[in-house]
């Protein structure tokens, strides 16, 4: 047993499998950052820091004639989303009910996926995470009111990246509202806007809950580095006669190696 | 031929499982290649040819090890068992039994043991969007 304490929960193997599968199904569509940035790990729950390869000179050495340098690291940050499930519902799932109410799990999965997206694309100051949008030196481009016109800022973003020597393919993370508009839109002649944008980018367009507007990033690799300690997992907290308290949890760090490799599209 | 690694309809398999199966197939191929080079090296007399084959076998060691590390990272119970066996001095079978017992300790045998570790195994989603 590890720190997730899953075997302490009053949950059968069959229902654990159901909960894990439900979580995967809910998380995968919303984890936009993992579709666009480099993912390494998981390194395990004990992994606490990412090596930055940098040092800070110490003001003084421990004794005469000796200098010191302190290694700088980026601490991993833990994300946790708590939720409660009804023991009656879990019991029904054990009996084979196909419609057990797992809404609290679904909500927690969406919340933690959204949090991961926000940290990667917009940063998280308390965790010392600089987001892609904060790091880029490119001036943000404005997304027009009409989605039919989105191709212009997207093409301009690609051109900005090319001017900086950042090669493709490129990917586009779009916030919920902007993604919906793109999916609904058909240009003159009925050609889907989604397909047109994909051709410009030569890469994917991903639904990115939590992202404000959009972000065009290079997918050539080596520019945006997500390091996983413990990958997303469900753990057990406590229970009483009515509910089981569980949580979704992960630990990770994120850093931008090439700030020029992204352009923000303001909503 | 290219889809032989799947034992279930690929369309029904999650992307993570397809990736897992590909790396399992790759691991098998690398192990086979290591064995083939071992045999060729055992019979080859030409020193220049031997040097090339030893170098090639070294590449396969690297590929095998990378495949294995990927699979272990994505499969915490496997990683747990491997941790108790790999790079340990002493009796391999004993270590194997102990590692298995620790990884699937009491009350968490079989499938329960794998769920006990809890990782959803999502990892990277690049290429799956």
What is the ipTM, given to two decimal places?
0.85
How far apart, in whole angstroms, are the C-alpha atoms of residue A162 and residue A179?
Answer: 24
Residues in chain A within 8 Å Cβ distance of B110? 13
Using the beta-carbon criterion (under 8 Å), do B122 and A24 form an inter-chain contact? yes
Read off the pTM.
0.74
How far apart, in whole angstroms, are the C-alpha atoms of residue A112 and residue A175?
Answer: 16
DSSP H or E stretch at residue A256: strand A243-256
Using the beta-carbon criterion (under 8 Å), do A206 and B129 form an inter-chain contact? yes
- Counting as low any pLDDT under 50, the low residues of chain A are none
Residue A11's closest CA among A81, A105, A140?
Answer: A105
Question: Across residues B107-121, what is the average pLDDT?
Answer: 52
φ, ψ dihedrals at A227, nearest 5°: -115, 120
What pLDDT, in 10s, does the model give residues B27-79?
999 999 999 999 999 999 999 999 999 999 999 999 999 999 999 988 878 88
What pLDDT, in 10s, does the model give residues A174-220?
999 999 988 887 765 667 888 889 999 999 999 999 999 999 999 99
pLDDT of residue A39: 92
Between the two ends of chain B, the Cα-to-Cα distance in Å is 26
Residue A249's closest CA among B77, B119, B117?
Answer: B119
- Residues of A with a Cβ under 8 Å from any B Cβ are 1-2, 4, 6-7, 13, 16-17, 20, 23-24, 27-28, 31, 34-36, 38-39, 41-42, 171, 204, 206, 219, 228, 230-235
Residue with tokens 């009656």: A88
What are the residues whose beta carbons fall under 8 Å from the beta carbon of A163, sequence distance 6 or more?
Answer: none
DSSP H or E stretch at residue A134: helix A132-135
Using the beta-carbon criterion (under 8 Å), do B73 and A42 form an inter-chain contact? yes
Residue with tokens 């194997």: B96
Using the beta-carbon criterion (under 8 Å), do A31 and B115 form an inter-chain contact? no
Task: Specify whether the CB–CB gap between A241 and A83 falls below 8 A.
Answer: no
At residue B27's C-alpha, the angle toward residues B23 and B28, to 5°, is 120
CB pairs under 8 A between A and B: 83
pLDDT of residue B105: 60
């Amino acid at each position: 047993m590890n720190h997730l304490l899953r075997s302490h929960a009053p949950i059968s193997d069959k229902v654990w499998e159901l909960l894990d599968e439900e979580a995967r199904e809910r998380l995968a569509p919303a984890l936009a950052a993992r579709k666009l940035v480099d993912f390494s790990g998981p390194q395990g729950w004990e992994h606490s820091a990412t090596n930055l390869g940098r040092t800070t000179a110490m003001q003084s050495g421990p004794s005469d004639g000796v200098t010191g340098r302190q290694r700088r690291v980026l601490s991993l940050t833990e994300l946790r989303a708590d939720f409660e499930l009804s023991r009656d519902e879990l019991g029904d799932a054990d009996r084979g009910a196909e419609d057990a109410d797992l809404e609290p799990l679904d909500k927690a999965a969406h919340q933690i996926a959204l949090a991961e997206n926000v940290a990667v694309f917009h940063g998280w100051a308390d965790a010392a995470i600089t987001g892609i949008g904060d790091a880029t030196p490119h001036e943000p481009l404005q997304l027009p009111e009409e989605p039919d016109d989105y191709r212009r800022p997207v093409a301009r973003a690609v051109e900005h990246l090319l001017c900086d020597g950042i090669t493709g393919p490129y990917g586009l993370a779009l916030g919920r509202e902007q993604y919906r508009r793109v999916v609904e839109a058909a240009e003159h002649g009925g050609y889907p806007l989604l397909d047109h944008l994909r051709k410009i980018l030569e890469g994917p367009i991903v639904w990115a809950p939590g992202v404000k507007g959009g972000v065009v990033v290079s997918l050539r690799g080596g520019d945006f580095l997500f390091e996983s300690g413990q990958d997303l997992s469900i753990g057990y907290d406590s229970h009483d006669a009515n509910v089981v308290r569980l949580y979704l949890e992960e630990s990770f760090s994120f850093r931008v190696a090439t700030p020029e490799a992204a352009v923000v599209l303001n909503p | 031929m290219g889809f032989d690694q799947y034992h279930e309809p690929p369309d029904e398999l999650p992307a993570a499982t397809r990736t897992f199966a590909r790396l399992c197939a790759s691991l098998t191929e690398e192990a086979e290649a290591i064995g083939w080079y071992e045999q060729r090296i055992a019979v080859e007399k030409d020193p220049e040819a031997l040097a090339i084959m030893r170098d090639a076998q070294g590449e396969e060691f690297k590929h095998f090890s990378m495949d294995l590390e990927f699979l272990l990272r994505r499969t915490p119970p496997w990683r747990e068992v491997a941790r108790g066996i790999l790079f340990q001095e002493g009796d391999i079978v004993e270590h194997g039994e102990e590692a298995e017992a620790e990884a699937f300790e009491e009350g968490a045998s079989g499938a329960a043991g794998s769920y006990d570790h809890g990782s959803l195994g999502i990892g990277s989603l690049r290429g799956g969007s």
